[in-house]
A = this chain, B = another copy of it.
Amino acid sequence: MTTQQLVAEIHKKNSFLCIGLDVDMTKIPAHLLQQEDPIFAFNKAIIDATNHLCVAYKPNTAFYEAYGIKGWISLQKTIAYLNKNYPEIFTIADAKRGDIGNTSTMYAKAFFEDLAFDSVTVAPYMGKDSVEPFLAFEDKHTILLALTSNVGAFDFQTKKINDHEVYQHVLETSKSWKNSENLMYVVGATKATYFKEIRKIIPTSFLLVPGVGAQGGNLQEVCKYGLSENIGLLVNSSRGIIYAANDENFANAAAAKAKELQQQMAGILASNAS
């Protein structure tokens, strides 16, 4: 999917919501556990109930890998279901991969070719030659970790190299990499005050923003400094939406939570346009 197609979808739905499909078997409704593939059954119900309210889904691979082969099959079925039934949806493999060049190429093949995701999250620690293999894929997007939503972000990401913090070096340096137009960045909603500085370095790049909801990030603050001329934000909520209820009504409850966020977003987009 191209960035233009993503932006068009945001305007069409008045939403820049991404829903995180981080499926923990201990948290899903009990009646689903009798199904052959409870994780896929859960995802399918959530997707069918919420796809008109969001523009992206983001399965976190850890939650699938924890269940071994069965989990990987659930992941494969989920992305295949999305690509077949909702091709207008932007799909994100939240995998946080990254390795030396020939190995990153294998990861890129895994997520862009075998699973056919539109994008994958990648860690920057190993530098240019660990990221460029992902950037080589046309109309695929590499979402680089910049400033993450967790407390540990302060351990290294915000430490100063000369006058700039590590995450600012990551942003600045990555702009010079080959096919850098295929880059997006992870910036946590819990760090809303940083968005102003970030937009000085990357004024228009799309930011994937986790941390709204369960982690305490504030949507209004994120948008105040984070919105760009082409929107440039994908705000993610996982637990706050998908575990809104754990009875037979779970998908409707998730849709209601997604709608709350979508309506806030519609309001922000309207006031931003005026």
Show the binding face of A for B, using Cβ within 8 Å. Answer: 22, 24, 60, 62-63, 65-69, 71-73, 76, 94, 96-101, 103-104, 106-107, 109-111, 114-115, 123-131, 145, 148-157, 159-162, 166, 169-170, 173, 215
> Closest B-chain residue to A160, C-beta based?
B161
> In the complex, what's the smallest C-beta–C-beta distance from A202 to chain B, in angstroms?
17
A151 and B166 within 8 A (CB): no
A60 and B115 within 8 A (CB): no
Q: A100-B149, A156-B173, A159-B166 are in contact. List 16 more A-B contacts (CB 8 A).
A: A22-B103, A60-B103, A62-B97, A62-B99, A62-B106, A63-B103, A63-B106, A69-B69, A72-B72, A123-B125, A124-B156, A125-B125, A126-B153, A127-B156, A128-B155, A161-B161
A173 and B150 within 8 A (CB): no
| A162 neighbours in B (Cβ, 8 Å) | 160
B153 and A127 within 8 A (CB): yes
State A94–B72 Cα separation when bound (angstroms).
18
State A145–B22 Cα separation when bound (angstroms).
26
Interface centre among A76, A149, A150 (most CB of B within 10 A): A150
State A145–B123 Cα separation when bound (angstroms).
12
B123 and A150 within 8 A (CB): no
Copies, count? 2
State A114–B66 Cα separation when bound (angstroms).
7
> Closest B-chain residue to A146, C-beta based?
B125
A150 and B68 within 8 A (CB): no
A106 and B66 within 8 A (CB): yes
B96 and A97 within 8 A (CB): yes
State A167–B125 Cα separation when bound (angstroms).
10
| A63 neighbours in B (Cβ, 8 Å) | 103, 106
> In the complex, what's the smallest C-beta–C-beta distance from A256 to chain B, in angstroms?
24
- A62-B125 CB under 8 A given contacts A68-B110, A76-B69, A170-B156: no
Q: Can you pick out 27 interface pairs between chain A and chain B where the beta carbons lie within 8 Å of each other?
A: A60-B99, A62-B97, A62-B110, A65-B106, A65-B111, A65-B114, A67-B114, A68-B76, A68-B110, A69-B69, A69-B72, A69-B73, A69-B76, A96-B123, A123-B126, A125-B125, A125-B145, A126-B152, A127-B153, A128-B151, A128-B155, A131-B152, A155-B173, A159-B166, A159-B169, A160-B162, A161-B161
